Amino acid sequence: MATVIKEAPRVGMVSLGCPKALVDSERILTRLRADGYAMSPDYAGADVVLVNTCGFLDSAKEESLAAIGEAVAENGRVIVTGCMGNEAEVIRARFPAVLAVTGAHQYEAVVEAVHQASPPGQGPFVDLIPGLGDLADVKLTPRHYSYLKISEGCNHACAFCIIPSLRGKLASRRIDAVLREAEKLVAAGTRELLVISQDTSAYGVDVRHEERVMAEGLLTPYLDIPFQHASPKVLRAMRRPANEAKVLERLRSWRETCPEIAIRSSFVVGFPGETEDDFRYLLDWLEAAQLDRVGAFRFEPVAGAAANALPDPVPEAVKEERYARIMELTERISAAKLAARVGRTLPVIVDEVGEPEADDWGDVAIGATARSQADAPEIDGQVFLRNVPATLGPGDIVEAVIEDSDAHDLFGAIV
């Protein structure tokens, strides 16, 4: 008598927010695939759709609610997880048809909700297939780079931020677990590991970490440290360390130890109580710090954040004007730093290779998009290469001579 094995149920995923949330999505899908689920690339083919939400800012919440609404309209069987899962009542009030709502990095709860909505399809014979639970991890990034999360949560109590309430206090992963995951990713084809966490510089303080430096050449010399501001008064209002002079000393020390280090940071403009003098202080500090990469954000109230109760809100027009000024300054600094790289030879990792194109003289050429060690994917600048060989592919690491630059990107050719 023939036995018909039930087709595996299919799961769709919409992943919003930061790379840390993307790692959560990868872990959820990896677990579900090990449980016998197949992945669906669209709403129509999915038995259930997961929406991994972001809840850091009100604008991010609106984007998450829009994504939930689209999934409900297109499929109807929706499970919500992620940072906005802490506001289950808001989600259910807007979308009562949602099957389940779970919070950030609650992997077991998400998987159980999927099991309830669409039970796994393994039959008794499929369960006997050896190694089914050891399938390669699901990746949502290109094959040649992967995010490696080393800790979760944050110990800071910044007045403008609700991350500790969303993701809890700092919890560092065991270093042996981090290294095992790194080895697996490299064995699966990863050429670039992007180490991420809520507060990377605090990794290990909860487990007595060993100190190591990038000057040994074992790590890419790139640090992303969200300084947020420089004015001592604003930093105190933010409930952040307010020793900006010590930070400048630390930057000088790092550059002496590792001259190739690239330092990225983000800053908030228009925080309640920020005066013109505070903002000018920040601009002067940035001139002294000469950071390689800078992102700026206009202050935006977030439900539940202590900063919402602070006096002296900054008018929106002033926020816009200050945002334009900080971006003008940081672009000028970036342009000068990139111009200093023209003529140098740098290692770059290739992200994408274009199609062959004929120029005005009929010669066929191929271009490629790559990144230097100072460029995080989808965040920083790029290195655009000309006349690359047809054999070049994503993940290849090559030496490139830099021929030109602008405020954000480099242009060159393979040596």
Mean pLDDT of 20-46: 90
Q: Identify which of 135, 132, 218, 136 has the alpha carbon closest to the alpha carbon of residue 185.
A: 136
Q: Which domains does the chain have, with CATH numbers?
A: 10-134 (3.40.50.12160), 142-211 (3.30.750.210), 218-340 (3.30.750.200), 345-414 (2.40.50.140)
Least confident span in 4-8, 159-163, 267-271, 368-372: 4-8
DSSP character at residue 228: B
- pLDDT of residue 127 exceeding 50: no
- pLDDT of residue 91 exceeding 90: yes
At residue 101, φ and ψ (nearest 5 deg) are -135, 125
- Give the DSSP H/E element, type plus range, for residue 167: helix 163-167
- pLDDT of residue 373 exceeding 50: yes
Separation CA 357–CA 366 (nearest Å): 6
- pLDDT of residue 2 exceeding 80: no
- 80: β partners: 51, 101
Share the mean pLDDT of the chain. Answer: 87
Which band of pLDDT confidence, cut at 50, 70 and 90, is reported for residue 295?
very high
- pLDDT of residue 411 exceeding 80: yes
Least confident span in 230-234, 306-310, 335-339: 306-310
Which band of pLDDT confidence, cut at 50, 70 and 90, is reported for residue 67?
very high
Give the β-pairing of 368-371 and 345-353: antiparallel
- pLDDT of residue 365 exceeding 90: no
Count H helices and E strands in the chain, helices first: 10, 19
- pLDDT of residue 214 exceeding 70: no
Tell which wins on pLDDT, 130 or 148.
148
Question: What is the pTM (predicted TM-score) of this model?
Answer: 0.66
Q: Highest mean pLDDT: which of 55-64, 174-183, 231-240?
A: 231-240
What pLDDT shows up at residue 133?
42
329, 230 contact by CB (below 8 A)? no
386, 413 contact by CB (below 8 A)? yes
Q: How many CB atoms lie within 10 A of CB 243?
A: 11
Q: What percent of the chain has pLDDT over 90?
A: 54
What pLDDT shows up at residue 5?
53
Least confident span in 170-179, 184-193, 203-212, 400-409: 203-212
What pLDDT shows up at residue 210?
55
Question: In 3-state terms, what secondary structure has residue 148?
Answer: strand
Tell which wins on pLDDT, 139 or 414.
414
What pLDDT shows up at residue 132?
40
Residues 6+ apart with CB under 8 A from 36: 8, 9, 120, 121, 122, 126, 132
- pLDDT of residue 125 exceeding 50: no
Least confident span in 96-110, 236-250, 330-344, 356-370: 356-370
Separation CA 233–CA 273 (nearest Å): 9
Ramachandran category for residue 345: left, alpha or beta (phi over 0 → left; psi -120 to 50 → alpha)? beta
Mean pLDDT of 116-120: 89
Separation CA 52–CA 22 (nearest Å): 8
- pLDDT of residue 123 exceeding 50: no
